[in-house]
Structure 1
């Protein structure tokens, strides 16, 4: 019989998408309670998904023995403290992106999680699209050859009404702009495919909206595996696209351009000759089509809990994504390339907020 884990969801915004993931994993998870300061949205989610309990009392969740997992879906500045309290109270944690506001917080959470003997899983649900999984399969089978160049475009549209939400567009509460909150999924795919970055040079600007944080950015990246990458992000594109293109020795791969599901099929896999294309096509046919997004990530998290192994997305994965952000902000402010890894002696290790690192 499948073990069912009991969940408390904190938040009522992006939490709606999490609830769909739980709905499709009803044999694995039961959402016991939704906690939100916004009563209208919180109660509406309860009604839509058949959750019998609503509360505004976050603190009460940590002491309950009928909850196994706390799912943090709040604005970013709350993520660390809620995750810490959950782990220290003996709960597993699922936490939305961006995970935390510094690499120091990620490293501290690693120690907290180890001491608690509980698991924490950052959210990177875009990994589980069939197109991206096909690329991972081809790499594992040695069919791509050496990596040369990756280009990633996150070109979305966010007009002023989007930033009317109180916590958006502010360093103190959103912790960053489009680089952190919008392009982070596509940039996680870069790390998921190629591993960590080695050096970053970045230009950032606020061009589209009157907000504190960046809404346009261009990055040149050296990867640790020796390949290069060019990343661009803007919230000023009237035609919204997300596009990932990978150039390997034996294969060129391109994603679909749909902005919010770019990991899904149909991706294009173009080999250099007919013989290799046949080998690639044979390997592609081996990839099983599964659920994707939150549904698949939650399914894999259930497996990790039952089998007592690392979650499908780890703190190290989140650290790689936030190291890219940290290095890009530092490069933009200094006008210099920034090497990785980011260690404790780096000026932005404890925070990348604008005043960080200043005497």
Structure 2
């Protein structure tokens, strides 16, 4: 199985995670052959830290390099669209961090471009690749839990003034959004991965924690396509970080509660499984046991599946349709807040925010 040669684009802490928690754990599958950053000193330091042989400050020059197979895009959100499109044009596979881009129009343009290209694109949603979440999904999909009733999803994290000293953060032009787009997007992706598409949404958002342009507090009420109801809460003003997902079904309730460092690992164990009847516990446990934890988790697992998809022409573990679904929810929540209305999904051409939610 041929190793893929990867270039990390954007030499910040997320790029470091892609290496340390992903590619670097899979030396038989990937070689991190280059890195790229407009800040030459940052690229030098990044290359030294991770033992990367080649450095670039010009993304176009990187794309001209014949010995690079994949670009892993870890730049500020406003740059993602242009970089992905350039990679496709150059015949390079792309892995792109969230949020994917700033509008459904641009998202649909990427989907159309990939369909015509020789290269492929995978969005990042690494929270899906924890052992705990895989077992929960398997139990839900089996039907043992019965009909879904109601769900609550809480992303209560902390971001202070120091976080926004990074120049591109907190601004619509460069970060594209706040807590809904940057922090809770992962948790909301997990929720929809488990519970299916959203049919209708109402929402309110506010900026109350820091003096920034984008939202740092939000609440939403959803009606899912399966008929169940859900509430979403997100803030960057929690004194103690917490992530909580609670899914109430006819026959069982599933809950994940994580504080502090555990708040950013909702896909991992421990998930609590609460059957409505004691005799159901054994059946649920047996169903959970059918899922074997892989050797890799998180970024490493997603990247390993990416390699397998390229080598064997398989679907990616996270698709452009998944990225679109996450942006469609963002679009609905922003429009619901703006219009004080209930927004119907799916959202397509002709919707007032199809072109994007950022101020002109």
Q: State whether TM-score is above 0.5.
A: yes
State the secondary structure of the residue aligned to 2:257: coil
What is the aligned partner in structure 2 of residue 306 from structure 1?
311
Choose 278-287 or 149-158, whichever is displaced more: 278-287
| Unaligned residue ranges in structure 2 (runs of 5+) | none
Of 279, 282, 285, the residue aligned with 1:281 is: 285
What is the aligned partner in structure 2 of residue 332 from structure 1?
337
What is the aligned partner in structure 1 of residue 130 from structure 2?
129
TM-score, with length taken from structure 1: 0.97
Choose 87-96 or 133-142, whichever is displaced more: 133-142
State the secondary structure of the residue aligned to 1:34: strand
What is the aligned partner in structure 2 of residue 31 from structure 1?
32
Distance in 1 between the 2:201 and 2:43 partners? 41
Choose 268-277 or 75-84, whichever is displaced more: 268-277
Contact 2:56–2:62 (Cα < 8 Å) also in 1: no
> Any residues of structure 2 matched to 1:192-211 within 5 Å, and which?
192-211=193-212
Distance in 2 between the 1:281 and 1:242 partners? 24
What is the aligned partner in structure 2 of residue 105 from structure 1?
106
Distance in 2 between the 1:284 and 1:353 partners? 42
What is the aligned partner in structure 1 of residue 263 from structure 2?
259
Contact 1:149–1:247 (Cα < 8 Å) also in 2: yes
> Any residues of structure 2 matched to 1:245-256 within 5 Å, and which?
245-256=246-257
Of 320, 323, 328, the residue aligned with 1:318 is: 323
Distance in 1 between the 2:313 and 2:47 partners? 30
TM-score, with length taken from structure 2: 0.96
What is the aligned partner in structure 2 of residue 16 from structure 1?
16
| 2:178 pairs with 1:173 | no
Deviations 1:127-156 (A, max 9, x none): 011111111111232211111111110000
Superposed CA RMSD in Å reads 1.0
Task: Show structure 1 runs of 4+ deviating over 4 A.
Answer: none
Distance in 2 between the 1:132 and 1:169 partners? 31
| 2:55 pairs with 1:54 | yes
| Unaligned residue ranges in structure 1 (runs of 5+) | none
| 2:77 pairs with 1:73 | no
Contact 1:256–1:264 (Cα < 8 Å) also in 2: no
- Deviation, structure 1 residue 310: 1.8
Distance in 2 between the 1:117 and 1:58 partners? 19
Contact 1:22–1:29 (Cα < 8 Å) also in 2: yes
Deviations 1:9-38 (A, max 9, x none): 100121000002001111111111010123
- Deviation, structure 1 residue 41: 3.1
What is the aligned partner in structure 2 of residue 45 from structure 1?
46
Distance in 2 between the 1:207 and 1:125 partners? 29
Choose 40-49 or 291-300, whichever is displaced more: 40-49
Distance in 2 between the 1:44 and 1:221 partners? 45
Contact 1:152–1:244 (Cα < 8 Å) also in 2: yes
Q: How many residues align?
A: 354
State the secondary structure of the residue aligned to 1:40: helix
State the secondary structure of the residue aligned to 2:219: strand
